[in-house]
Chains A and B, each alone.
Chain A
Amino acid sequence: MWDLIRDILSWALILIGSAALVIGAIGLVRFPDFYTRMHAAGVTDTAGAELIVFGLMLQAPSWIVVAKLAFISFFLFLTSPVATHAVAHAAWVVGVRPMLGPDLKREGDD
């Protein structure tokens, strides 16, 4: 019984995580400018990876594996948004400005 619930839960988490990553990838291709793309990649990357790690945690054979996965999820949670921030900030400093208003509909920036 517990096994069944665990399987369903972990598969649900893994599938949702994968779906998030796929959606992020689509957003990366489809969005018009740098910042919206960064948004798509950054948000779904963190969420998707975290969800997959949680799903794997439910499948782990032993507690030590759960602990390792918990560490991985902690570091992912810490580093992934920071990486997104660093890239976005670097772009801002270099002079890339987000598209605003009606510009957002066009392909290609500036």
Chain B
Amino acid sequence: MSDTTRPTDQGPTDQGPTDQIKTVTNPAGMVQSAASQEYTSIEHLILRVVMKVLFAPIIVFALYVQFHGDYGPGGGFQAGVIFAVAFILHALIFGLEATKKALPQGWLSVLMVVGVLLYAGTGVANMLLGGHLLDYDTIDPQSTHHAGQHYGILIVEFGVGVAVASTMLMIFYQFASREPEISDEEW
């Protein structure tokens, strides 16, 4: 075992315990470390069942927070984070590979751009409609109840939500798909 965090040991493990870290594709295994292999089939049974019950409500709640942000606490930032949390929970319990099948990493990098472009594009569209940047009243100039502002805020918040959710998930994917070099005895 060449790899420790002892102060005397300067070098990283290059060709160290490759046999030791072979099964850490599952972040749940990472977090609940030292799980013996024979457990894994039934180990997370309760967590899996509850996760299946909870996953859809969390997504629905995220959507509620996203689109109810005009009327109550909430908005794109919170909704994006909650949406990301649902998938992070999924990854923690079912493993990162399963989550990546459900929501591929390539989509995320596209969605990150789409979110920001949705926001910026709304602003540019307002300019093209003859107003200032992000002057939502140009969307519906005739409205007496500021319908343009409502539409603008909804679109922009949606852009924020998409950008935040995909960025947070992307960051999580990047961290979780790395293999820890530290042996479990360090705990």
Q: Which residues of A contact B (CB under 8 A)?
A: 75, 78-79, 82, 85-86, 89-90, 93-95
Stretch at the interface among B32-40, B123-131, B142-150: B32-40
A86 cross-chain contacts in B, Cβ below 8 A: 46-47
The reply to whether B39 and A93 contact each other, CB–CB distance below 8 Å, is: yes
Contacts A/B (CB < 8 Å), 12 sampled = A75-B54, A78-B54, A82-B46, A82-B47, A82-B50, A85-B46, A89-B32, A93-B32, A93-B36, A94-B34, A94-B187, A95-B34
Q: How many B residues touch A, CB cutoff 8 Å?
A: 14
The 8 A-B pairs at the shortest CB distance, nearest first, are namely: A90-B32, A82-B50, A93-B35, A85-B46, A94-B34, A78-B50, A86-B47, A82-B46
A75 to B50, CA, bound (A): 10
Residue in B32, B33, B34 with the greatest tally of chain A CB atoms within 10 Å? B32
Interface majority SS on B: helix, strand, loop or mixed?
helix
8 Å CB contacts to A: which residues of B33-74? 33-36, 39, 43, 46-47, 50, 53-54, 57
Complex formed: what's the CA distance from A89 to B28 in Å?
Answer: 13
Residue of A nearest to B184 (CB): A94
Q: How far is the CA of A95 from the CA of B35 in the complex (A)?
A: 10
Count, A-B residue pairs, CB within 8 A = 28
CB pair A94 B54 closer than 8 Å: no
Residue ID in chain B nearest A93 by CB atoms: B35
Bound-state Cα–Cα, A82 to B39, Å: 18
Q: Which residues from chain B contact A95 at a C-beta distance below 8 Å? A: 34
In the complex, the chain B residue whose C-beta lies closest to that of A91 is: B32
| A-side contacts of B57, CB under 8 Å | 75
B93: nearest chain-A partner, CB-CB: A86
Chain B residues, CB < 8 A from A79? 50, 54
Docked Cα-Cα span, A94 to B186, in Å, equals: 13
Given contacts A78-B50, A93-B32, A93-B35, 13 further A-B contacts (CB under 8 A): A75-B54, A82-B46, A82-B50, A85-B46, A86-B46, A89-B32, A89-B43, A90-B32, A93-B34, A93-B39, A93-B43, A94-B32, A94-B33
